[in-house]
Amino acid sequence: MAAKKIEIVPTRTMACENEKQPVSPFLRQLQAVSGVVMYMIGTGANIAYPGVLLEQLRQPDSAVRLTPEHESWIASILGLALISGILTAPFCLQKLGRRLTNQLSTLPTLAGWALLLTAKDPIALLMSRSLQGFGMGLQAAAAPVSIAEYSSPKHRGVFLATIAFSFATGMLVAHVFGTILYWRTAAVACGSFYVVSLILISLSPETPPYLASTGKFNECRKSFRWLRGYDEDAEKELEILLNSQKKQTITTPKVSKLKYYADVVRKPEFYKPTVIMMFMFVLFQVSGMTVIPSYTVSIMNEVTGGQIESYTSMLMVDVVRFISAVIACIVINKLNRRTVLFLGIYISVASLFITSILLYLRDFGYIPDPYKWTPAISTLLYIFGKTLGILPIPWAIAGEIFPLEYRSLGSGISGLTLSLMFFLVVKTAPALFRAISVKGTFCVYGFCISICGVFLFFLLPETKGKTLYEIECHFKGVKDKAVQIEMSEKDRMLELEKVEEG
């Protein structure tokens, strides 16, 4: 009889609670995620802004005079500044939480855009870009973690894919505003996304996994149910989360920081995801993900042979990127993560090599003058491929792959790889263009993408449809997750029985 009562009581309670939630869990999750999404639109604008800024500053009547060296630093210094934000992020995520870290990350970026408005020399431009990069570094670690922890397994893929959509939207916005507006006015439009982001983040709760990891179990239940509702699957996932963290609190002995980190780096659930994410973010950067937006005008001018107006070709790239990002949001929720990633890799590598071959053939006179623009077709196909798979999947995996205990540390280390590669790839791009031209640079990028793809083919597991706890079990080598879930359910029933008897 007791067992029967235990089954009935929570069901009645859940039904009553569900009546109190006029807004669906999906919309609540969407609200929580939207603040991060708005920030990432700003990040896309940050990355793409040099593409229009530098073109306007090259004009004879420019308010700020730049040398080629200044230009390369303005485009690439975000990567160096990202490092400082990335190194700060693990502490902020662990000690301050996901929500407060997201809020704080908006402040330096807003300050950077404000400084850009008043800049009168290259030093001020570099300082403004550095402030933007620091904020982006904090958010680069916080964004995928926050989105993954806010989302249910059913919606996590599409929500994480919105990072790619946000980048593409921000790049399109920056280039459109930079084409029709003066660069200072365009900066106001781009910076406004961070104001909206701060407001939306402030309206959202802290993520349930972070609250559980800090022992705030009642607050965790409240946040989880606000986001996910009270259905049976959600309640099971909540109890598994709470039980795993209670067990972690009981069984983890206190040790020195040095010994703790020495033990952590030897654990497969830490080093395996970290290695995978390092390859992911190297792939992300060597695919030209941040180079193309920064130097779109000059790249497309060479690719089209000057037969398509520079700003027109730039907007063509942005439109293809935006449409591809929309498709990625749909595809990533329908197909496996690995399928989408490797489809993007195959398309990108083939397109880069085809573009290079066409450019070489054009240089040798095998393509008639009226058709000199044809390499633009394969270049746009390359933009489609990398935006479809190489842009969204690393961010989706970054939010899923790290165990809760090491999520802040793992995100920081992998983010450090991202920022270093950002700086190296963008800083060396002008030198590569001068030394081996766009066609040679595309060959280098295609070769590097292929190498990263081979490693990821053997290292990357499939994560679609799995809870964050199930992914953690995979890297720990725990095979029989059903037993653990069953034990968690027994613990939950015992807890309910005590409440009922009380």
The pLDDT tens digits for 359-418 are 999 988 898 888 889 999 999 999 999 999 998 899 888 888 888 788 888 888 888 888
pLDDT for residue 97 is more than 50: yes
Domain boundaries, the chain: 26-213+263-466
- How far apart, in whole angstroms, are the C-alpha atoms of residue 269 and residue 210? 18
Q: What is the mean pLDDT of the chain?
A: 85
Q: Given a cut of 80, is residue 15 above it in pLDDT?
A: no
Contacts of 315 (CB under 8 A, 6+ apart): 172, 175, 176, 179
- Residue 195 pLDDT > 90: yes
Both structure tokens of 341: 């990633």
Quick one: what percent of the chain has pLDDT higher than 90? 41
If pLDDT is split at 50, 70 and 90, which confidence band does 237 have? confident
Instruction: Please check the confidence at residue 502 and state whether its pLDDT lies above 50.
Output: no
pLDDT of the residue at 378: 95
**pLDDT > 70 fraction of the chain, expressed in percent and rounded:** 89
Q: Is it the case that residue 23 has pLDDT exceeding 90?
A: no
The H or E element spanning position 233 is helix 232-251
**What pLDDT score does 467 carry?**
81
- For 132-156, write each residue's pLDDT tens digit: 999 998 988 888 889 989 998 888 8
Beta strands in 131-220 (DSSP E): none
Mean pLDDT confidence for 190-206: 94
Residue type, 92: C
pLDDT of residue 307: 87
**The pair of three-digit structure tokens given for residue 74, joined into one six-digit string:** 């303005």
CATH class, 26-213+263-466 region: mainly alpha
**What pLDDT, on the 0 to 100 scale, is given for residue 9?**
37
Range of lowest pLDDT (126-130, 213-217, 396-400, 485-489): 485-489
CB-side neighbour CA atoms (13 Å) of 152: 24
Res. 8: pLDDT tops 70? no
Distance CA 304, CA 300 (A): 6
Closest CA to 219 of 186, 241, 251, 188: 241
Least confident of 3-12, 137-146, 266-275: 3-12
Residue 64 pLDDT: 85
The predicted structure's pLDDT at residue 251 = 55
Question: For 295, which DSSP code?
Answer: T
pLDDT of residue 294: 78
Q: What is the pLDDT of residue 254?
A: 64
pLDDT at 493 > cutoff 80: no
Q: 494 phi and psi, to 5 degrees?
A: -65, -40
Q: Check residue 163 and give its pLDDT.
A: 85
pLDDT > 90? residue 439: yes
> What are the residue ranges of helices labelled H in 267-370?
268-286, 291-294, 296-303, 310-334, 337-363
Which of 470, 466, 404 has the alpha carbon at shortest distance from 153?
466
Does residue 2 surpass a pLDDT of 50?
no
Confidence of residue 494 (pLDDT cuts 50, 70, 90): very low
The DSSP-derived string for 76-141 is: HHHHHHHHHHHHHHHHIIIII-HHHHHHHHHHHHHHHHHHHHH--SHHHHHHHHHHHHHHHHHHHH
Q: How many CA atoms lie within 13 A of 439 on its CB side?
A: 15
- pLDDT number for residue 4: 38
Specify the pLDDT at position 55: 82
Of the candidates 195, 228, 193, the one whose C-alpha atom is nearest the C-alpha of residue 209 is 228
Residue 23 has a CB neighbour count (10 Å cut-off) of 11
The per-residue pLDDT for 18 is 47
The token duo for 308 is 């398509």
Q: What is the pTM of this model?
A: 0.76
d(CA 64, CA 179): 18
* Residue-level pLDDT at 313: 87
What is the distance between the alpha carbons of residues 374 and 90, in angstroms, rounded to a whole number? 47
pLDDT category at 500 given cuts 50, 70, 90 is: very low
Q: Which of 314, 312, 309 minimizes the C-alpha distance to 294?
A: 314
